[in-house]
Amino acid sequence: MNYMFWLLCALVIVVALLFIVLPLWRSSVRSNDVLRDEVNLEIFRDQITELDTDLRNGLLTQELHEQGKREIQSRLLDEVKSSDESTAQPNSNKKLAIVLAILLPLACVPLYLHLGNYSAALPANEQVVADSSGIIRSDAGISALEKHLKNKQDDANGWFMLASSYIAKQRYSDAVKAYEELIKLVPEEAQVWANYADVYGMANGRSLLHDTVTNALAKALELNPENLSALALSGSAAMGREDFVTAITHFQKLMNQLPPGSQDAMAFEASLQRAQNLLAEQPGGKQKLAELSALNAPKAVDAAKAITGKVSLSVKLAGNVSPSDTVFVLARAAQGPRMPLAVFRKQVKDLPLEFSLDDSMAMQPQLKLSNFDQVIVVARVSKSGTPMAQSGDLEGLSKPVKPGSKGLKIVIDTVVP
């Protein structure tokens, strides 16, 4: 604990109390009465002086002069008596001062603990500071998180952050231990099992050919057969075992989920092609490759559900593009998931172009064009080369249409903000 911090807090509270409580304590009813008595005495002196003046000027007789003085003296005695009675009353301001002196410190501490940031007052070597990706870059921060997890071992987010931070520091053996703790807390998360397999391989000779890795990947795919990380690692592990049939199967499942033309898709397309070439070189490999191709061949699609049309580029935006810029034409649900239901890729130099979108272009088997009542067709010039819209891209949209609509005309005429 940072005792200096709390000592400073106590000093600040004491100073604040001095400014608030001390004036209340010093103020009293008596001090007000003294001021009032002084004013009354001055008034009475003035009245007696006037009586003396009137007597000298012959305006009053001696008898009336004496009578007036007796009345003034009587009123003065009454005022003094009243003042004495008031000074005997308890001072309410002192009571308030006592109450504030007790309540203010009692209220300040819990209020700060609730609203304040105590970790900001800790020394740098006790702070846990993660970047925007949830990774702690400093050794001191990692040490602080380790201490926290010793006392709170059920903090799944903490274990994940610690494992990610270890990986960033290339402390793979420590990351393995962190993931083993995380698996105990969230054993049904496929991504955790896939990450565990990956880091275990890194910690053990950078190899995926370990039983622990194989079992972890099998568990991940059991929980989620479409998990991208598990498919990619399983395909790579199969390549290492020269099990090219399994590698092709995993890579093909992975490709079915990636946006066509994306960097990831092109990378794994190269891996898929390599696995196919190596399988074809094995005895009987071409026959196996033909069987896999038939198994993975696109199913027959309903041509009546295909959407056709033409895409062109607005003249006013012609200066914003180059011939090699990527053009995506895709369909997405008018209401529902934002992921494209069908997509194909061309270049600006191909514009204007005719298009046809159908179920064979589905990015995921469960998300087909024909499964939705209405879709929107998007034509986009992508500066990044990916189908996801980014600021500076150019696009044009259709109105919501039904699958099977023909002859759509889409003009790319808008800059994505």
* Residue 126: band (very low, low, confident or very high) from pLDDT cuts 50, 70, 90: very low
- Highest averaged pLDDT of the listed ranges 29-33, 102-106, 170-174: 170-174
- In DSSP terms, 342 is beta-bridged to 331
How wide is the angle at C-alpha 184 spanned by C-alphas 227 and 140, nearest 5°?
Answer: 95
pLDDT score of 265: 82
Give 226 or 198, the one with higher predicted confidence: 198
Residue 51 reports pLDDT greater than 50:
yes
Q: What is the mean pLDDT of residues 66-82?
A: 65
Residue 314 reports pLDDT greater than 60:
yes
**Hunting for tokens 């190899």 — which residue is that?**
207
pLDDT score of 167: 94
- Highest averaged pLDDT of the listed ranges 48-52, 131-135, 272-276, 385-389: 272-276
pLDDT score of 267: 85
pLDDT in tens, 219-249: 999 988 889 899 999 999 999 999 999 999 9
Residue 127 reports pLDDT greater than 60:
no
Sheet holding 326-333, edge to edge: 342-347, 326-333, 375-382, 394-397, 414-415
The full set of domain ranges for the chain reads 3-115, 139-296, 303-415
* Residue 90: band (very low, low, confident or very high) from pLDDT cuts 50, 70, 90: very low
Spatial neighbors of 15 by CB under 8 A, at least 6 apart, are none
Residue 114 reports pLDDT greater than 70:
no
pLDDT score of 289: 84
Q: What is the mean pLDDT of residues 271-286?
A: 90
Looking at 3.40.640.10, 3.40.1000.10, 3.40.50.10860, 1.25.40.10, the CATH number of the domain 139-296 comes to 1.25.40.10
pLDDT score of 278: 92
Mean pLDDT (the chain, rounded): 80
Give 13 or 163, the one with higher predicted confidence: 163
pLDDT score of 116: 57
Residue 21 reports pLDDT greater than 50:
yes
Residue 1 reports pLDDT greater than 50:
no
Cβ contact 330:357 at 8 Å: yes
Residue 76 reports pLDDT greater than 70:
no
Give 7 or 87, the one with higher predicted confidence: 7
pTM of the entire predicted model: 0.48
Give 96 or 3, the one with higher predicted confidence: 96
Q: What is the mean pLDDT of residues 373-384?
A: 90
Terminal alpha carbon distance of the chain: 49
pLDDT score of 92: 57
Q: What is the mean pLDDT of residues 245-273?
A: 85
In angstroms, rounded to a whole number, what is the distance separating the alpha carbons of residues 309 and 405? Answer: 9
Q: What is the mean pLDDT of residues 85-113?
A: 61
Q: What is the mean pLDDT of residues 298-316?
A: 82
From 32-46, 234-248, 258-272, the region with the lowest mean pLDDT = 32-46
Residue 353 reports pLDDT greater than 90:
yes
